[in-house]
């Protein structure tokens, strides 16, 4: 059975600060799976939750305003069926941290919408693109 065929009951999304991409992915995966799998997110360091991430998910009826950032030190990597890195830095750190484990690691290259510039609408468009990209990846990867 390949990693893609294994039933996934728990997944961890990891980005740099657990402030933008990974909390979005966590919330979208929770909603998509209808809580049939345990979903968590973490960052390499803890950052403050990005208000644009909150706004982008609120547009889809998801409230992440109470999200508390976790770091890799706060989670047990071995407790997950799958770990998904959303940034190159997270992928590199996880490859080292997970060496010798059976837990599969996937890398989903996800742009950082906080790098976007312009007026509020242009910035929000960047966050919406990341939200929609993650939602499609989650739906494709976890066919519930």
Q: List, for residues 23-48, the tens digit of each pLDDT value.
A: 999 999 999 999 789 999 999 999 99
15 is written with which tokens? 């980005």
Q: Which residues, other chains included, contact 38 with Cβ-Cβ below 8 Å and sequence gap of 6+?
A: 9, 10, 11
Give 1's pLDDT tier (boundaries 50, 70, 90): very low
User: In what order do the strands lie in the sheet containing 38-43?
Assistant: 38-43, 10-15, 82-85, 105-107
Average confidence (pLDDT) over 45-68: 96
71 is written with which tokens? 């770091």
Superfamily grouping for domain 10-141? Response regulator (3.40.50.2300)
Domain limits of the chain? Answer: 10-141
Q: Which residues, other chains included, contact 55 with Cβ-Cβ below 8 Å and sequence gap of 6+?
A: 124, 127
């Amino acid at each position: 059975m390949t990693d893609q065929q294994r039933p996934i009951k728990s997944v961890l999304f990891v980005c740099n600060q657990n402030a933008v991409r990974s909390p979005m992915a966590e919330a979208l995966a929770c909603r998509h799976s209808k809580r049939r799998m345990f979903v968590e997110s973490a960052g390499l360091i803890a950052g403050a939750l990005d208000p644009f991430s909150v706004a982008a998910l609120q547009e889809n009826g998801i409230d992440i305003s109470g999200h508390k950032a976790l770091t890799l030190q706060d989670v047990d990597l071995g407790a997950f069926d799958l770990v998904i890195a959303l940034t190159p830095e997270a992928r590199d750190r996880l490859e080292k941290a997970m060496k010798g484990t059976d837990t599969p690691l996937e890398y989903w290259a996800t742009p950082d919408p906080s790098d976007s510039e312009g007026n509020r609408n242009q910035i929000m468009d960047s966050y919406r693109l990341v939200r929609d990209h993650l939602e499609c990846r989650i739906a494709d990867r976890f066919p519930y």
